[in-house]
């Protein structure tokens, strides 16, 4: 394939070509934003090792009733309204790994960004949240820790 063939294809299929350019730009933007956000996504299967080997603090931002119905063993409950990077629980873990989780991964991604902006060094976000944890067949514990 040469440039002339590619240009001829683009001339015959302008909508396809425009869609390809749009998708390429969207993917590039998403990847650059992911690299610059400052925190890392952690898969459910990777989290137990992070907790056991690096003594990571896991903060669950689920509603209190949801936390009581099922949470990751050893995680600490903070509702989004209680979440404060300068608060007692989090301030003590400024140099330690901190993993933020919620039910679906949306609220925790925002909270991870706030921790990074507040100067936390090792910030992780549970990719997919508690739902992904359950989908991976990993156990939850009930009640208060």
CA 35 vs CA 30, 39, 91: distances in Å: 9, 8, 25
Residue 129 among the catalytic residues: no
Tell me which of 102, 109, 126, 130 is the catalytic residue: 102
**CB–CB of 140/66 below 8 Å?**
no
- What beta strand segments (E) does the chain contain? 40-42, 57-60, 76-77, 98-101, 123-126
Q: Which DSSP category does 104 fall into?
A: S
Catalytic residues: 102
């Amino acid at each position: 394939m040469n440039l002339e063939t590619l240009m001829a294809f683009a001339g015959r299929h302008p909508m396809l070509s425009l869609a390809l350019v749009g998708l390429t730009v969207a993917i590039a933007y998403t990847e650059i934003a992911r690299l610059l956000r400052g925190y890392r996504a952690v898969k459910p299967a990777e989290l137990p090792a992070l907790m056991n080997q690096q003594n990571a603090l896991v903060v669950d931002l689920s509603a209190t009733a949801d936390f009581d119905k099922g949470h990751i063993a050893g995680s600490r409950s903070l509702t989004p309204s209680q979440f404060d990077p300068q608060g007692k629980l989090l301030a003590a873990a400024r140099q330690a790994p901190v993993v933020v989780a919620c039910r679906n991964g949306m609220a925790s991604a925002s909270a991870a960004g706030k921790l990074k902006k507040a100067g936390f060094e090792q910030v992780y976000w549970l990719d997919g949240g508690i739902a992904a944890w359950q989908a991976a067949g990993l156990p939850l514990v009930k009640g208060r820790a």
